Amino acid sequence: MKIALAQLNYHIGNFSKNKRKIIQKIQHAEKAGADLVVFAELAISGYPPRDFLEFDDFIKKCNSAIEEIAGHCTTIAAIIGTPVFNPNSKGKPLYNTAAFLSDGKVQKHFYKTLLPNYDIFDEYRYFEPNRIYEVLSFKGFNIALNICEDLWNVQENPLYTVNPMDEVIGQNPDFIINIAASPFNYHQIDIRTEVLRKNAKKYNLPLFYVNHVGAQTELLFDGGSLVMDRKGKILNEMACFEEDFQIYDLDNVIKGKVIRGVTNHRPVIAMIHDALVMGIRNYFEKLGFSKAILGLSGGIDSAVTAALAAEALGNNNVYNVLLPSRFSSSHSVDDAIRLSENLNMPYDIIEIEKPFSAFEKTLKPFFKNLPFDVTEENLQARIRGVILMALSNKFGYILLNTSNKSEAAVGYGTLYGDMNGGLSVLGDVYKTRVFELARYINRHSEAIPENIITKPPSAELRPGQKDTDSLPDYESLDEILYQYIEKRQGPKEIIEMGFDEKLVRRILKMVNTNEYKRYQTPPILRVSSKAFGMGRRMPIVARYLS
């Protein structure tokens, strides 16, 4: 038997496009002699459909698409992820389903048992868990068919009281097929591979795994579909961050023959780079936009954002606007111009002195002779935000936000100013890693001027300002933030690591008191295991560590 794996980039709710892609791959697999072609979890709807699942019309469109696709499965079979209505009167209204299609119709539904309800997942909000366990019999083989999380209950501290594979192993399956929607973070490939390996070894079965690829707003799916033998050895890995399609001879898989020696275990910074480029590109494509705008300050965050956007969208589609003030250094302007010229990106210079002076004059009677402070600093950022949004409105650009995760964590940004944007590119990338990204972008040639990378970071909102005037050094700040945000360590545990107590308490207070700002940020491309946004839900009006 020959099994095809189709790793595709779906578009949530775009039934005609998703359906067309699936049918094309079914026909391709059929012509290539495959007996079965496998698609990812919730392929029909795209993942995650979220509250679209509350609309009966949405589910009916999924069902209609599946029925149409089934008509193309006459001499080939297919497994496709889709939501279906729960036929029972009790329980949640839907099942997360793997539909088995053959002989021109939907033959059987296999439901997902383990419904994740943590981090970015909220499947138990919509779906009823499966309680009937059976194998799929096809062409003389018994297949343990399951969906994503159903294989993840093999960790040392299992989240669930049931393990679906334990329930079907007594039915003597010959191999496992797992269809998934497993989002990217820079630890995920290693974790996912180990989970799959544990299953293959524990149950002594070959394993076929199909994942989504592509970006769905902030969630990035890396693909990385694979085939393992019964000992957990990877026989083949499919591409990361791009669509892929492979056909496997089951006999060779059972014998443990390596099909193609490809590995996706590359340096973390390379994976983050590719994920962000894909995230930008897909966000624009799926919204129907092609051009970006951003404020290019001469600093490293906007430089890295511009370089990533140029790679994702094409250099002519990234419009850089330099917005110098009376406090901007000449080298910052020169560095921004040089970056634009290095990458052949269009740019303009718009001085903000006139509107800033006008605001100073207008507000002077009402500021009651109080001295220059953060108010005037924020005013400059907000003027820049107004200009960028005006250009965005006038010409149909999407404004890219350039704030990094370190700044977002401690509130080092101005609401309705430099926190504006339709998409946050670096909001899940700590400042120290932004420097790594700059070096990676420059690995072949100097796209980002060296001076941008080496000069001390500064917002340039007052004379001689540096980030370290308001923040600890980024090496210490980022490590403390990582321990608190990603690792969920409390102040006592972080202090015991050797960090200064006053510094730790100050940083954690800054994180928690600035939650209100993060509620108003654009969607953030997720590359870590704990990004700001849907996967980190914190109250605003709270007193914990604040």
310, 496, 518, 531 from 301: Cα distances, Å: 14, 32, 18, 18
Cis peptide before 371 (omega within 30 of 0): no
Q: Is 240 a catalytic residue?
A: no
CA of residue 299 relative to chain centroid, distance: 25
Rg (CA), the chain: 26
Q: Given the structure tokens 């193609």, which residue do they identify?
A: 260
Cβ-Cβ contacts under 8 Å for 219 (sequence gap 6 or more): 48, 120, 183, 526
**Closest C-alpha among 240, 182, 264 to residue 529:** 182
Tell me how far apart the alpha carbons of residues 199 and 67 are, in angstroms, rounded to a whole number: 32
Out of 19, 21, 25, 112, pick the active-site residue. Answer: 112
Beta bridge partners of 84: 95
Out of 62, 73, 148, 240, pick the active-site residue. Answer: 148
Q: Report residue 284 as tokens.
A: 């624009």
Tell me how far apart the alpha carbons of residues 347 and 296 are, in angstroms, rounded to a whole number: 9
SS3 at position 423: strand
Out of 19, 30, 41, 123, pick the active-site residue. Answer: 41
Residue 419's φ and ψ, nearest 5 degrees, are: -90, 0
Residue 471's φ and ψ, nearest 5 degrees, are: -125, 155
Contacts 24+ apart (CB under 8 A), 114-117: 114/149, 114/150, 114/152, 114/153, 114/159, 114/160, 114/162, 114/164, 115/149, 116/149, 116/152
Q: Report residue 491 as tokens.
A: 């102040």
Go through 390-427 and write b for each residue having 16 or more CB atoms within 10 A of its CB, e for each that does not: ebbeeeebbbbbbbbbbbbbbbbbbbebbbbbbbbbbb
Residues marked active site are found at: 41, 112, 148
